[in-house]
Copies of this chain bind each other. A is one copy, B any other.
Amino acid sequence: MAAKKRKKSAAPKRMKVQAHSRTTEFTDADLKTVEVIDKTAKRIEKEINRRILPELKFPVRALSNVTYDKKVGYFQIGTGTKSRHMSVNTVKNFAQTLRLMAVSKEMVENDDFATKREAYYVSKNWGECKFNEQTESDSVMDDIEALASREGLSRESLRYYPEEHGGRVAGQLTIVDRDKRSGEALRIDCTRMGTGAYSVPHSVEHLEFETKAKFILVIETGGMFGRLNEHEFWADGDCILVEMGGVPTRATRRFVRRLSESRPRKIPVYAFVDCDPYGIANIYRTLKVGSGNAAHINKFFCVPHAEYLGVTPQDIIDFKLEDACHELQKVDIKRAKDALKNDPFFMSQPKWKKAITQMLKTGMRAEQQALAKWGLNFVLEEYLPRKLADKASFLP
A377 contacts B18, CB within 8 Å? yes
B221 contacts A378, CB within 8 Å? no
Which of A45-53, A66-74, A86-94, A317-325 lies at the interface? Answer: A317-325
B230 contacts A17, CB within 8 Å? no
Which of chain B's residues have a CB closer than 8 A to the CB of A367?
117, 121
Let me know if A178 is at the binding interface, CB within 8 A. yes
Whole-angstrom distance between the alpha carbons of A198 and B227 in the complex? 18
A19 contacts B196, CB within 8 Å? no
A177 contacts B203, CB within 8 Å? no
A376 contacts B112, CB within 8 Å? yes
A223 contacts B192, CB within 8 Å? no
B180 contacts A231, CB within 8 Å? yes
Question: How far does the Cβ of A330 sit from chain B's closest Cβ, in whole Å?
Answer: 19
* A123: nearest chain-B partner, CB-CB: B373
* A179: nearest chain-B partner, CB-CB: B194
A112 contacts B180, CB within 8 Å? no
A121 contacts B18, CB within 8 Å? no
Band of interface residues on A = 35 or more
* A255: nearest chain-B partner, CB-CB: B196
**Do A198 and B202 form a contact, CB below 8 Å, given A9-B319, A376-B112?**
no
Question: How far does the Cβ of A44 sit from chain B's closest Cβ, in whole Å?
Answer: 25
Whole-angstrom distance between the alpha carbons of A161 and B225 in the complex? 13
Let me know if A193 is at the binding interface, CB within 8 A. yes
Whole-angstrom distance between the alpha carbons of A375 and B320 in the complex? 58
Let me know if A20 is at the binding interface, CB within 8 A. yes
Whole-angstrom distance between the alpha carbons of A226 and B223 in the complex? 24
A118 contacts B194, CB within 8 Å? no
A324 contacts B121, CB within 8 Å? yes
B164 contacts A369, CB within 8 Å? no
Binary flags per residue of A195-235, CB closer than 8 Å to B gives 1, else 0: 11111111100110000000000000111001101111001
* A187: nearest chain-B partner, CB-CB: B192
* A235: nearest chain-B partner, CB-CB: B181
Whole-angstrom distance between the alpha carbons of A180 and B236 in the complex? 13
Which of chain B's residues have a CB closer than 8 A to the CB of A207?
194-196
Partner of A177, one of B163, B194, B221, B376: B194
Which of chain B's residues have a CB closer than 8 A to the CB of A373?
15, 121-122, 124-125
Let me know if A264 is at the binding interface, CB within 8 A. no
- 9 nearest A-B residue pairs (beta carbon): A177-B194, A195-B201, A115-B223, A121-B372, A199-B199, A118-B372, A197-B199, A12-B374, A124-B373
Please list 13 pairs of residues, one from A and one from B, whose beta carbons are closer than 8 Å in the complex, sorted by A's number: A8-B386, A18-B375, A107-B376, A112-B377, A122-B375, A175-B194, A177-B194, A181-B232, A193-B199, A195-B206, A196-B199, A197-B199, A197-B201
